[in-house]
């Protein structure tokens, strides 16, 4: 005689024993859901916690507003057979999918459950993600992926690989339509790493998350190099060296809290403006500190971050790629409650020059802001592009052109402020009026020129300097004359290349007024399938 089963328990074929009547069936449903929510058991949960990692459901609870999560396909199971898979068919198939709210606004989320198949992607697992991504695009709401998976499920072969293709295709379709955020909370190896790379922002947690195409064992076998997983693709490596990671944090709780903060600065989709909030910081607040913060001497460094703090609401901003390409700052902030994207040269690092990495960093940030209707404010203090054989051979021409292309293609409000110096091609590239900035302002310390006065004098007056009885004295005199004639603060404004020279203490008020005027700006691009930006 076959053993008696209680309602909700799985039979030999994996199907639950059917109960009689609606009450019985409902009780059976609750039993099944309870098992799905519990996951693979306390032992697997303890193992996850022992690694310093939260479970998928704990992560979702941190991300979304309390009680807002609505799960879809909770009872989905794989249909694969072979290699023992037919005997192991857990609910959710290793990924939890659904939607909820963050600060009251809808957000779609999927989270790999490392306790089930190591979070590896199989056919059913991928189909759940595909469905959720399609829903996010259709609903016009952000998509957050909480990644903690071991790559493709090897037992399912090419079906698993095809699942990744479907994710990549949807990442690309959603690009510039809805915000996409990847939160790396565990390993991400091989082709799986390309989905985060296609999204708008990548968050990582130190020690527990890694990303690489080929792991340390393969690297050692092919090149002989020995390296740890964190040394190859840890959070600090990607935040400082590769630029793959935008934000890196010490623990999951802080990381997910910052994801919530980022979402508060982004619109739901490309058809909306970012949410505006009431600001207690007066729009006409003077910042007399700025009068002493920036040295008039163009060779003296200072911290541009302090300038930004003085201008934005309550001194609060979120810096993107803070530890990569530090010679340029990219940040999201608010001015009079309106979200703005700030791009600023950082004189404390490499004197604020543009190089390959700074150009790439700023170009992608400009594109992101333009895609999601975030006005751009550019703070210039740039001596030019970084000279050197390494930069030229590394393609500074095409990489610098990426930033130029991004600015020229942007249709959101664009305001530039020349804080101190703006020389050469770097001045043009950093959203000068000649490439379409709506308004350009300058402080009285500004110097706009093809190059610095000393370099210019050495080129223009080289014969006079060489022929002079005292070349150094002649050079000093001609440098002074060149600076007085062509580099005084009002040269550009007299020729219409700058709209106004302003009191630095009034910078916040001027920018707030300009943004209010440009709020309804509309600009059409030429009809085309897409551009062909420099690569």
CA gap 385, 382 in Å, rounded: 8
Which member of 31, 166, 176, 190 is catalytic? 190
- 427 found inside a domain: yes
Q: Examine the domain organization and report whether 91 and 148 are in the same domain.
A: yes
Total domain count for the chain?
Answer: 2
Percent of the chain with pLDDT over 90: 65
**Burial grade of 389 (CB within 10 A; 0-12, 13-18, 19 or more):** exposed
Q: Examine the domain organization and report whether 368 and 227 are in the same domain.
A: no
- 26 found inside a domain: no
Q: Examine the domain organization and report whether 315 and 386 are in the same domain.
A: yes
Predicted confidence (pLDDT) at residue 451 exceeds the cutoff of 60: yes
The answer to whether residue 425 is catalytic is: yes
- 60 found inside a domain: yes
The answer to whether residue 104 is catalytic is: no
pLDDT range class, residue 350, cuts 50, 70, 90: very high
- 383 found inside a domain: yes
Contacts for 71-76 with beta carbons within 8 Å, 24 or more apart?
Answer: 71/96, 71/97, 71/98, 72/97, 72/98, 72/99, 72/128, 72/131, 72/132, 72/135, 73/97, 73/128, 73/131, 74/33, 74/36, 75/32, 75/33, 75/36, 76/124, 76/127, 76/128
Percent of the chain with pLDDT over 70: 94
Q: Examine the domain organization and report whether 295 and 259 are in the same domain.
A: no
pLDDT tens digits, one per residue of 166-215 = 999 999 999 999 999 999 999 888 878 999 999 999 999 999 999 998 88
Q: What is the pLDDT of residue 11?
A: 46
Whichever domain contains 328, its CATH number is: 3.90.226.10
Q: What is the pLDDT of residue 489?
A: 76
Q: Examine the domain organization and report whether 250 and 304 are in the same domain.
A: no
Q: What is the pLDDT of residue 397?
A: 95
Predicted confidence (pLDDT) at residue 4 exceeds the cutoff of 70: no
Q: Examine the domain organization and report whether 250 and 294 are in the same domain.
A: no
Which member of 166, 191, 394, 455 is catalytic? 191
Q: Examine the domain organization and report whether 254 and 300 are in the same domain.
A: no
Please report, for residues 31, 44, 511, the alpha-carbon distance to residue 37 in angstroms, rounded to integers and kept in the order given: 10, 13, 51
Q: Examine the domain organization and report whether 197 and 327 are in the same domain.
A: no
The answer to whether residue 394 is catalytic is: no
- 4 found inside a domain: no
- 523 found inside a domain: no
CA gap 288, 63 in Å, rounded: 40
Which member of 118, 176, 425, 436 is catalytic? 425
Q: Examine the domain organization and report whether 292 and 242 are in the same domain.
A: no
Q: What is the pLDDT of residue 453?
A: 67
- 282 found inside a domain: no
Pairwise pLDDT comparison (398 vs 90), residue with the higher score: 398
Q: Examine the domain organization and report whether 82 and 212 are in the same domain.
A: yes
Q: Examine the domain organization and report whether 235 and 307 are in the same domain.
A: no
Q: What is the pLDDT of residue 19?
A: 62
Pairwise pLDDT comparison (34 vs 323), residue with the higher score: 323
Predicted confidence (pLDDT) at residue 127 exceeds the cutoff of 80: yes
- Name the phi and psi angles at 81, rounded to 5: -135, 160
Q: What is the pLDDT of residue 7?
A: 40
Predicted confidence (pLDDT) at residue 2 exceeds the cutoff of 50: no
Which member of 193, 333, 426, 442 is catalytic? 426
- Name the phi and psi angles at 86, rounded to 5: -65, -20
Whether the Cβ atoms of residue 418 and residue 394 lie closer than 8 Å to each other? no
Q: What is the pLDDT of residue 454?
A: 73
CA gap 13, 432 in Å, rounded: 69
Q: What is the pLDDT of residue 128?
A: 95
Range of the domain at 130: 49-265
- Over residues 250-261, the mean pLDDT reads 97
The answer to whether residue 157 is catalytic is: no
- Name the phi and psi angles at 288, rounded to 5: -65, -20
User: What DSSP state is assigned to residue 70?
Assistant: E
- Host H or E run for residue 38: helix 21-38
Pairwise pLDDT comparison (500 vs 35), residue with the higher score: 500
pLDDT range class, residue 357, cuts 50, 70, 90: very high
Which has the minimum average pLDDT: 30-44, 238-252, 340-354, 411-425? Answer: 30-44
**Burial grade of 21 (CB within 10 A; 0-12, 13-18, 19 or more):** exposed
- 149 found inside a domain: yes
pLDDT range class, residue 373, cuts 50, 70, 90: very high
Contacts of residue 161, Cβ cutoff 8 Å, sequence gap at least 6: 152, 191
Q: Examine the domain organization and report whether 257 and 316 are in the same domain.
A: no
């Amino acid at each position: 005689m076959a053993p008696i089963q209680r309602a909700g328990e799985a039979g030999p074929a994996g199907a639950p024993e059917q109960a009689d009547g609606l009450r019985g069936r409902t009780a059976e449903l609750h039993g099944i859901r309870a098992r799905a929510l519990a996951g693979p058991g306390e032992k697997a949960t303890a193992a996850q916690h022992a690694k310093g990692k939260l479970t998928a459901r704990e992560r979702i609870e941190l991300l979304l507003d309390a009680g807002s999560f609505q799960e879809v396909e909770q009872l989905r199971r794989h249909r694969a057979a072979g290699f023992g898979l037919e005997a192991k068919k857990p609910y959710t198939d290793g990924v939890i999918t659904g939607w909820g709210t963050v600060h009251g606004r809808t957000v779609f989320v999927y989270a790999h459950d490392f306790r089930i198949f190591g979070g590896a992607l199989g056919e059913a697992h991928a189909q759940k993600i595909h469905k959720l991504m399609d829903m996010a695009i259709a609903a016009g709401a952000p998509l957050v992926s909480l990644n903690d998976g071991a790559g493709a499920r090897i037992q399912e072969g090419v079906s698993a690989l095809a699942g990744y293709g479907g994710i990549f295709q949807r990442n690309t379709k959603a690009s510039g339509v809805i915000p996409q955020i990847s939160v790396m909370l565990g390993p991400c190896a091989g082709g799986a790493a390309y989905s985060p790379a296609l999204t708008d922002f990548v968050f990582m947690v130190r020690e527990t998350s890694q990303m690489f195409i080929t792991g340390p064992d393969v690297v050692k076998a092919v090149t002989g190099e020995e390296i740890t997983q964190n040394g190859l693709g840890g959070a600090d490596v990607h935040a400082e060296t590769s630029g793959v990671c935008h934000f890196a944090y010490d623990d999951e709780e802080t990381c997910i809290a910052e994801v919530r903060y980022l979402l508060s600065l982004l619109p739901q989709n490309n058809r909306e403006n970012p949410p505006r909030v009431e600001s207690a910081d007066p729009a006409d607040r003077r910042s007399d500190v700025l009068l002493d913060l920036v040295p008039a001497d163009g060779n003296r460094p200072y911290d541009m971050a302090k300038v930004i703090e003085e201008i934005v609401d309550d001194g609060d901003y979120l810096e993107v790629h803070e530890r990569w390409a530090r010679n340029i700052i990219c940040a999201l902030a608010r001015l009079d409650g309106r979200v703005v994207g700030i791009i600023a040269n950082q004189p404390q690092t490499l004197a604020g020059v543009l190089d390959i990495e700074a150009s790439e960093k700023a170009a992608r940030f400009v594109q992101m802001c333009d895609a999601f209707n975030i006005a751009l404010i550019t703070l210039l203090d740039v001596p030019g592009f970084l000279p050197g054989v390494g930069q030229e051979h590394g393609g500074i021409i095409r990489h610098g052109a990426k930033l130029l292309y991004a600015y020229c293609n942007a249709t959101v409000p664009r305001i530039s402020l020349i804080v101190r110096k703006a020389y050469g091609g770097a001045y043009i590239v950093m959203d000068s009026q000649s490439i379409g900035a709506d308004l350009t302002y300058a402080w009285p310390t500004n110097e706009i020129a093809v190059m610095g006065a000393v370099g210019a004098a050495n080129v223009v007056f080289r014969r006079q300097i060489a022929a002079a009885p005292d070349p150094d004295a002649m050079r000093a005199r001609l440098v002074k004359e060149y600076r007085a004639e062509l580099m005084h603060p009002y040269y550009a404004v007299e020729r219409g290349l700058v709209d106004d020279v302003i009191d630095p203490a009034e910078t916040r008020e001027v920018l707030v007024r300009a943004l209010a005027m440009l709020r309804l700006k509309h600009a059409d691009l030429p009809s085309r399938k897409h551009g062909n930006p420099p690569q």
